[in-house]
Structures are given as structure tokens and as C-alpha cells.
Structure 1
Amino acid sequence: GVFAHLEMLEAQAHEAAVKQEATEQQEEKLARLKARVQELRRQRDELRAKVDLQQKGQLGKEGPSADPAQPSARAVLEWKAKSVKAMLQIFYLTGISGKLTKRGVCFCISTAYEGTYLDSYHLDLLTKPEVRIHRHSIPIFIPLEQIARKYLQTDIRRFFSVLSDHLNAYVGRRYQADQLQEHFSDQIEGTLQRNSLCNLLVFNYKVWSESKPFLFNVRLLYGDVCCSLPTEVVISCKVDAPSSLAEMATAHSDLFRRVALHRAFRAFRSAEEHVD
């Protein structure tokens, strides 16, 4: 029945996913990186508090009568520099690197999907008289201006977090479509149709029932553009198709919502081989 078929597909998809998951060594490395992030955030908060005190005039002025225990203007500048470097280090651990320029900061946003590094995008920010975008390589269909208007002046970390989510989700969807065409072209009938943002995919693929081939037409809609899995799946077949295909379509639809597109097709192929 449909549940047994679904359980088999899920088990096979899970087995394939487990083989490619991070090893214990990678998990330990991730834990160390998280600890480093926490330490950098603590240092950043301390530096920010000291700079705030200086700006509010609560620190003594530099001079012969100044309290030697209180930082000088030079020390405050050093704190500011360390704060910027700490922020860049935190960004680096999340796939974002940056370097100071004469007029601001140049950032590089690296994207990845399932541990595979994909594209890198650049964003050059000017910091005076206010933070603004000077130039960039972000695709035109990513709502950069909208994200900038909402976060760039008030919360730059949130700005990069949202922008990174958009970019990683986009390259993730594109990567899945590319993998499908590269490794499962024998199952795809005709051309896989997709838009620039890869949040709408339409294609036909072959399935077998009662030793006969049939075509499923599938439409995948990614309503959440910050997600790499579809929010809506529609699968249709010919009217005169066997009733067993309705159960198969339901199982396939559910799997498309749960796992990456190419992993789902790997599970389909494995299921057919077991049947044979």
C-alpha cells in the first residue's frame, strides 16, 4: 500500500543521506567553531561596552592626571579595530568573509548545499557618511534592495543573515535541479523547466507499473524562497493510468517535500531495482 511504499522510500532516502552526513570528527570541529563564536561574541560585547563608555564621556580624558587604569583614546581605537575583526571572524565561520578597504568593507558570501561549496558572491560596502552598497555580484532576482532597506542601517548582522539565507536556498534549489538533469536524465522525459530563481520546476519523469512505463507530470513550487524544499507538489498522470499509480504519486509527492530532489530520485531508482 501507499504507507509501505512511502516507508521504504523514506528508509532508502535516509540511508543515502546518512552515508553523506558529517563524521564525528566534523561534528567535533563544528562544536569547536561554535565555542569560538561564543568567545568572539563575548569579546565583542566587552569591547562594545567600553567604547560606549568612552563615547558617553564616562572614561577619563587622556593626560597626566588621567587614571592609568582607564584606557586612552588610542586604546579605544584598538578596541574598535578588534571589534571589527571579531565581527569579521564571526561572519567567516558562517561562510561570510570580509576585508577592510579604504572606504569600507568588502564582503564575500560563500554558498554551499549538503557540504558542497557552490558559488561565491561579493558585496562592497561604503561606511561613510552612512553604510551603503557600492557594488555587488548578487543576482538581480535576489531582493537585495529590499533586504538592505530593512536591515542594512540598523542590524548589519541580520542583513547578512537574511541575504545569506536567500543565496544558499537559491543555489540549493539550482544544485538539485542540476543534479537531477546530470544523474537521472534517463528518467526525465523532455526538458526540465525552471525559472531564474529556481523556485518553480516543471518536468515529466517515467515510472513503471504492471511492467509498463507511464509519465508523471510534476510541478514543484518553492513558496518560501529561503528554503530549498518545495512547499507545494502537484503530480498528475493520464486518466487511464492504473489505480496503483495514484498511491505511487502520493508517496512521491510526500518524499519531494521531505528530501532533496536528486535524493528522492535515487530512492525511486533503488525501489525499482528492488522490485525487479
Structure 2
Amino acid sequence: MESTKGVLSHLSALEQWAIGRKVQPLQRSRVEELQARVEALTAQRDRLKAEIHTLKDIVKRKERQINQCTEEEETGVNDSENEQLLKLLARQMQLKELLHAHHIIGGYDIIETQSRDCVCVTLTTAYNGVYLDTYNLELKVKPTLKIIRHNVPPFIALSDLARQADIRDDLRGFLDELSMHLNAFVGRRQQLSLVKELHPWAVVMESNMLCSLLVLMLRIPGKKAELLCTLKYMDHTRCLPTEVHFDCEDEKIPESPEWKNNLKLLMEMPVHRVLDTMKTMSHIG
């Protein structure tokens, strides 16, 4: 009986030993797998840390570049503003010098021509701050001063102006007088153009090349009457008329206070502006 127990105990021990031998390799394999997994995760962690560090470094460098570019742009803008300011100052000095020279020659542009004994004078006209036509005269300097060519309108008596001002002794006086005539002419012409453009209901019945005569047909609302307005510009150096006259079948209309006031306005203001006032007051329409 005891021998039987001994054999069974021995067999049980051998069985336990066999089971242990089977489990032990499995345990060692699992441990090795876990260790490999840990190593892989550690390597991945280190790699991610390295990537994060690299990205942070890149971000910092980008920020430095952006800040540097911003500073350079601001500096560039300041440099550009300073450069522009210097150019403006230089231009201002240049313009002052040109104005000084312009004043010396009487305010007119005088340039040399291909011929050494001739010069060209330019006269610019304007009305209400708007530059209009430009006129030129070519003057022969030697042996005596005289006009060779020009584009002054023929209805402006250029030769009479040159003779009256004595161009040989007073060139600036002659140019001043001619400039007054030209500016007055283009001013009257511009007023006529504005009347036609802004007041089509004011019919232009008569005018001339010099724009020294203007006759308008005006309709008076409410009275079914028409009135002729005649403006004469006898002073060819001015844009305003020297004489204004009204003609109407109803003789009471020109003698009325409102039309006497209209006549006064036409003597003191440009005709297109007076027509605006008359229209607003319902004197015409």
C-alpha cells in the first residue's frame, strides 16, 4: 500500500514537473513579447519627442523670420517715406527755382528755337481754374524784335496790340495785354458753351467769333411772354458785359424790380450763373 502511494506520488510529481516545463516557455515568451512591446513604445515615444522638438524649433525659426520680415518691411516703409519726402523737397526747390525764373521773364514760358535768333513764347489761358487753350508766338530777336509766326485767333488784333505796346521796348507789357485779351476771349467762349450745355431752354439767337455779342431768347413762365436779352462785351479784356439790354412786347416786364435786379446781376456775374439764379427764382423757364 505504501509502495502504491509512493508510485502515485512519484507519478504526480512527474506530471507537475511536465506541466511546469510546458508553462515556463509560455511565460518566458509572453515576457519577451511584453519587453519587445515596451521597447517599441519607448522608441516611438523618443521619436515623437524628437519630432515635437524639431517642430518647436521650426516654429521658433518661422516666428523669427516673420518678425524679421515685419521689421524689414517697416524699415522699408520708413525708408520709402523718407525717400519720397526727400524727392518732394527736391521737387519743391526745383519748382521754386522755376517760379523765380518764371517771374523774371514776366510769367511766360520762353524757349529757344532751332534758329538762334528766334524764341518761342507760350501763353496759357484758363477760366475758373480750368486750363483751356494755349497760344504760341515765335519772335525774331535780331536785328529787331518782331513776330514771325503765331496761332492767335485772327479776330484779335495782334498787330495793333504790338504797335500800341511797342513790343521792341516793352515785351512784357505787350504779352500782358495779349494775355488779358486771350483769357477774356476764352472766358466769354466758355460761358457761352456753359449756357448751351446747362440751359437749353435759353435759346442763343446770336453770337460772334470774338464772343463779344450774345443775344438770348428767354421765356417768362406764367405770362406766356418771351424776352430778348442782349449782352455786349465792348471791353475785350474782360469776361463780363459792358452793356445789357432787355426787349419784350410787354414793356412793363423789363421795368419791373425783379428784372432790373436781373440786369444788375448780368453786369456783375457770368451769364450762366445768373441764368441759374433766374431759373431758381422762377423768372424764366
- Which band: TM-score by shorter chain? 0.5 to 0.7
Establish whether residue 157 from structure 1 lines up as the match of residue 168 from structure 2: no
Q: Hey, what does 2:136 align to over in structure 1? A: 122
Aligned runs of 1:120-269 on 2, under 5 Å? 120-150=134-164, 151-186=166-201, 188-189=202-203, 191-208=204-221, 211-239=222-250, 246-269=256-279
Query: Could you state the TM-score of these two structures normalised by the residue count of structure 2?
Result: 0.60
**More helix per residue: 1 or 2?**
2
Q: What is the CA distance between 1:192 and its match in structure 2?
A: 3.2
Q: What is the CA distance between 1:132 and its match in structure 2?
A: 0.7
Query: Could you state the TM-score of these two structures normalised by the residue count of structure 1?
Result: 0.61
Larger radius of gyration: 2
The amino acid across from 1:168 in the alignment is: N
Contact 1:91–1:97 under 8 Å retained in 2: no
Aligned runs of 1:72-151 on 2, under 5 Å? 86=101, 89-90=102-103, 94=107, 96-101=108-113, 102-150=116-164, 151=166
SS of 1:196's equivalent?
coil
Q: Hey, what does 1:57 align to over in structure 2? A: none
**Higher RCO (CA-CA < 8 Å; seq separation 6+):** 1
Q: Hey, what does 1:83 align to over in structure 2? A: none
Could you say what the CA RMSD is over the residues aligned between the two structures, in angstroms? 2.7
Structure 1 residues 243 and 234: CA distance shift in structure 2, 3 A: closer
Contact 1:106–1:125 under 8 Å retained in 2: yes
Q: Structure 1 vs Structure 2: percent identity of aligned residues?
A: 32
Q: What is the CA distance between 1:140 and its match in structure 2?
A: 0.7
Q: What is the CA distance between 1:92 and its match in structure 2?
A: 8.1
Q: What is the CA distance between 1:244 and its match in structure 2?
A: 8.4
The amino acid across from 1:221 in the alignment is: K
State how far apart, in whole Å, the 1-side matches of 2:170 and 2:112 are.
Answer: 19
Q: What is the CA distance between 1:93 and its match in structure 2?
A: 8.0
State how far apart, in whole Å, the 1-side matches of 2:168 and 2:159 are.
Answer: 12
Query: 5+ unaligned residues in a row in structure 2: which ranges?
Result: 1-91
State how far apart, in whole Å, the 2-side matches of 1:93 and 1:145 are.
Answer: 21
Query: 5+ unaligned residues in a row in structure 1: which ranges?
Result: 1-31, 41-85
- Which consecutive segments of 4 or more residues in structure 1 shift more than 3 A? 91-94, 241-245
Deviations 1:98-147 (CA, angstroms, capped at 9, x unpaired):
21122321111110111111111110111010111110000111111011
SS of 1:272's equivalent?
coil
The amino acid across from 1:247 in the alignment is: P
SS of 1:107's equivalent?
strand
Deviations 1:35-93 (CA, angstroms, capped at 9, x unpaired):
x69x94xxxxxxxxxxxxxxxxxxxxxxxxxxxxxxxxxxxxxxxxxxxxx3xx12788
Q: Hey, what does 2:48 align to over in structure 1? A: none
Q: What is the CA distance between 1:251 and its match in structure 2?
A: 1.4
State how far apart, in whole Å, the 1-side matches of 2:197 and 2:184 are.
Answer: 20
